Amino acid sequence: MRKLFVFLASGFFLSLSVNAQKVSGVVKDDQGKGVDKSTASLLRAKDSSVVKLAVTDAAGKFSFQANPGSYLVSTSHVGHSTVYSNVFEVSGSGDVDLGIITISKAATNLGAVIVTSKKPMVEVKADKTILNIEGTINATGNDALELLRKSPGVMVDKDDNISLAGKNGVRIYIDGKPSPLAGADLANQLKSMQSAQIEAIEIITNPSAKYDAAGNAGIINIRLKKNKAFGTNGSVNAGYNIGVYPKYNGGISFNHRNKGLNIFGNYNYNHTKQDNEFNLYRSVLDTVFDNKTSMIFRNESHGFKTGLDYFIDNKHTIGVLINGNMSEMNFDNDSRTPISYKPTGVVDRILVANNSNSMERNNVNFNLNYRFADTSGHELNIDADYGLFRNDGNQLQPNYYYNAAGNVLLNSFFYRFISPTDIDIYTLKADYEQNFKKGRLGIGAKTSVINTENNFQRFNVSQLHPEQKTLDLARSNQFDYKENINALYVNYNKQLKGMMFQVGVRMENTSSSGKSYALNANGTVDKTNPQTFKRNYTDFFPSAALTFNKNPMNQWGLSYSRRIDRPAYQDLNPFEFKLDEYTFMKGNTELRPQYTNIVTLTNTYKYKLNTSLSYSHVADVFAQLVDTTDKSKSFLTRKNLATQDVIALNISYPFMYKTYMLFVNFSGNYSKYKADFGGGSRVVNLDAASFNIYTAQSLKFGRKKDWTAEVSGWYNTPAIWQGVFKSKAMWSVDGGVQKTIFKGQGTFKVSVSDIFFSMKWSGESNFAGQVSRANGNFESRQLRTSITWRFGSSSVKAARQRNDASEEEKKRTQSSGGLGGN
């Protein structure tokens, strides 16, 4: 039966040839002599999987034939330490000469040559930047949002909105699957994910037609850990952090793999208590509100991932994957707002609003996948996914008004908000690639359905008996949102003489509808007369790229793409979410998608110095505005600005010398925002130039080179957040050390984050007659420690690699192309 299945599946594909280029180098010892019979391994850069093996000749020379892609080479010899090259690109034109690779004698004899990968902290490739979290000391004890805040070119504003290269339309993916969440819900999901779960963060600024068109600033893919080693193995980790309050985390992972089956799983637990400060000064007409808030954030989360891959043969693989995150969060706010008469500055009354908010955030994803790949370049990937999100919120909002002295209670109002949200996501996609006309042709299709049910209940609460509450029907509702996106794409790339081109187009049809229902007095939904809206539109998203690679040591590229950002369901819900008596949030049913056209010029010099210059024009850009109502009250909402124009420059350079590693990244942008919401103070005309500098460096030391020191830091100049908020500069420096323990089977890490406690944000806005100044900070300076113990077969020995090399090469000849159009 299995042979029949393989025969039928193989019958769909045509056999076409694969072009390859030569990769060569010379292995020498520390005396400058060629090393005979040493092992050279060509490794795929994205996962360090073995592509080919070679043995050096008497002069130490070796060579491979390699298809276009990103690689690195490891060289090893009995009695010598394994050495790794920098990551390099095989462009499809011209051979790659790695030059001389020097290996040194090991301090102690090795029982067997073991190939293990040591990736740099940051890798810059033609289409993305990769932060290798797993091996970074200063990532210890961070959550995913903190890691993004410290990533090159990424900015996280005061409301935890994420922007990249000066643009706010970033799409977050988890293990190649787009998250349906946005705003505070997305931030809370990222806060519940710990660095112990994360292998790498991929920043993709110019995706091809194979990817979803959503994300005008690009895609950030958070890749979770998955053990790839043969045999039975696993690891246990535990961590402890202390700032103002203690925090702790722990986890375990397990993997069993042989030629036919891979079974894997991991579990992580995190307990966090964190201090935050937030201050907001608002001036509206003749009234000043000077709010100061202290907040305690508590989070207890459980993350898990389990699955299996069944290798039917060397061409066919099927897999099942289940992952999820369960978290319970609590926010306790102490808020005090003196309200004064602006002309005299005299305080009239004081609002004290000490609220608490309990939330649950649960997410589980199920995936069934099939992959076909043969040695002649045919590849088919099919994925079926179901994801569910179950979020619950329960907030108590008391409001006490005191006299100016704060000793006489004038009046008070109590509210409770209960807001469960259910999200179900169904996705089916297929991606196929083959060699065609001496190039590479890819086609694919995807359909996805998102169903969202958001129930919002506001209660007036008795002050004497808080358990007694009355539903406020005028300020409660049920909001149901459904979105169906169907997509087709075609993509083609080909190497010409001295030049490679890629062209593609993606067609997406979007059908969405929203229904807002009133609630009955008992909390049930009244479906008799809903407010509704519907949208149906079809868009084409072309992309193209030229790479001039006649001289592999100095390559130029030019690319273009069109992208879209659709409104999140939270931004469309028209009902209010009260922060206090004078501040609330509301959605906007008139919010339209924003569209972006991007042109990028790139240069790669000697495979190290990477430079890109881009221009983006965004139409109907999303902006978060602080608008006014009822004279002195303010509300946060999203609206479409007319346009945003962004010019962005990014320069990065990696440097390695023996055991020292340095990475420097500079990203700068100039943005201009224009909009007119009614003239006068309701006109937005802002422009600003800003830049970000990120640097990371590490050094191995000690007699056995089993100590590693690491220092990393970043600096952001003043910028514009969400179209109207002018922020001030921010910066931070982290430092730490790592020690290899347990005879190489474990590591101990200790680090200090934000050493100078400089990660403090501030800024101001002036819109619709309201001047706002805000600032804040959180428990960013922490002492973080962690210990990891690895057990079982944690690497693939060279002898076994030689036996399996031909089979591995057949499986991995063609790259899967990143996220595969999720």
Q: Tell me the pLDDT band of 659, cut-offs 50, 70 and 90.
A: confident
**What's the whole-number average pLDDT of the chain?**
82
Stretch 228-249: mean pLDDT: 89
Q: Which residue has the tokens 């006068």?
A: 680
Q: What is the pLDDT of residue 208?
A: 82
H helices, E strands: number in the chain: 5, 51
- DSSP H or E run through 780: none
Q: What is the pLDDT of residue 126?
A: 58
Report whether pLDDT(431) > 70.
yes
The dihedral through the CA atoms of 471, 472, 475, 479 has a sign that is positive
How far is CA 94 from its chain centroid? 34
Q: What is the pLDDT of residue 627?
A: 60
Residue percentage of the chain with pLDDT more than 90? 39
Q: Cα torsion for 543, 544, 549, 553, to the nearest 10°?
A: -40
For residue 11, with 0-12 CB atoms within 10 Å meaning exposed, 13-18 middle and 19 or more buried, which class applies? exposed
Report whether pLDDT(360) > 70.
yes
Q: What is the pLDDT of residue 429?
A: 96
DSSP 389: E
Q: What is the pLDDT of residue 228?
A: 62
Report whether pLDDT(814) > 60.
no
The dihedral through the CA atoms of 496, 499, 505, 506 has a sign that is positive
For residue range 195-205, what is the model confidence (pLDDT) as tens digits?
A: 888 888 888 87
Report whether pLDDT(359) > 90.
yes
Q: What is the pLDDT of residue 10?
A: 42
Stretch 231-257: mean pLDDT: 92
Q: What is the pLDDT of residue 486?
A: 97
Q: Tell me the pLDDT band of 598, cut-offs 50, 70 and 90.
A: very high
For residue 258, with 0-12 CB atoms within 10 Å meaning exposed, 13-18 middle and 19 or more buried, which class applies? exposed
Least trusted range by pLDDT, from 167-181, 342-356, 651-665, 722-736:
167-181
For residue range 712-743, what is the model confidence (pLDDT) as tens digits?
A: 999 999 887 766 678 899 999 999 999 999 88
Angle CA 90–658–51, to nearest 5: 30
For residue range 665-691, what is the model confidence (pLDDT) as tens digits?
A: 999 988 877 766 666 666 667 777 888
3-state secondary structure 144-211: HHHHHHCCCCEEECCCCCEEECCECCEEEEECCEECCCCHHHHHHHHHCCEHHHEEEEEEECCCCCCC
DSSP 475: G
Q: Is 546 within 8 Å of 555 (Cβ atoms)?
A: no
Report whether pLDDT(637) > 70.
yes
Q: CA–CA separation, 139 vs 751, rounded Å?
A: 9
Query: Does residue 47 or residue 359 have the better pLDDT?
Result: 359
Report whether pLDDT(663) > 70.
yes
DSSP letter for each residue of 665-679: EEEEEEEEEEEESSS
For residue range 328-353, what is the model confidence (pLDDT) as tens digits?
A: 999 999 999 999 999 999 999 999 99
Stretch 491-495: mean pLDDT: 90
Q: CA–CA separation, 99 vs 89, rounded Å?
A: 15
DSSP letter for each residue of 427-460: EEEEEEEEEETTEEEEEEEEEEEEEEEEEEEEEE
Q: What is the pLDDT of residue 118?
A: 53
Report whether pLDDT(389) > 90.
yes
Range of 55-69, 119-133, 254-268, 808-822 with top mean pLDDT: 254-268
In degrees rounded to 5, what are phi and psi of residue 571?
A: -80, -10
Stretch 175-193: mean pLDDT: 78
Q: Tell me the pLDDT band of 409, cut-offs 50, 70 and 90.
A: very high
Q: CA–CA separation, 446 vs 430, rounded Å?
A: 7
Q: Tell me the pLDDT band of 159, cut-offs 50, 70 and 90.
A: low
**CB neighbour list of residue 8: distance below 8 Å, 6 or more residues apart:** none
Q: What is the pLDDT of residue 679?
A: 63
Least trusted range by pLDDT, from 13-17, 129-133, 696-700, 738-742:
13-17
Q: What is the pLDDT of residue 154?
A: 82
Q: CA–CA separation, 397 vs 414, rounded Å?
A: 6
* Of 702, 713, 780, 781, the residue nearest 737 (C-alpha): 702
pTM higher than 0.85 for the full model? no
Least trusted range by pLDDT, from 150-154, 472-476, 645-649, 737-741:
150-154
User: Quick one: tokens of 807?
Assistant: 């089979």
Report whether pLDDT(275) > 90.
yes
Stretch 428-452: mean pLDDT: 94
For residue range 80-122, what is the model confidence (pLDDT) as tens digits?
A: 777 888 778 887 667 788 888 888 765 443 333 333 445 666 7
Q: Tell me the pLDDT band of 588, cut-offs 50, 70 and 90.
A: confident
- What are the strands of the beta sheet with 170-174, ordered from one edge? 122-124, 129-131, 198-204, 218-224, 170-174, 177-178
> Coil, strand, or helix at residue 803?
helix
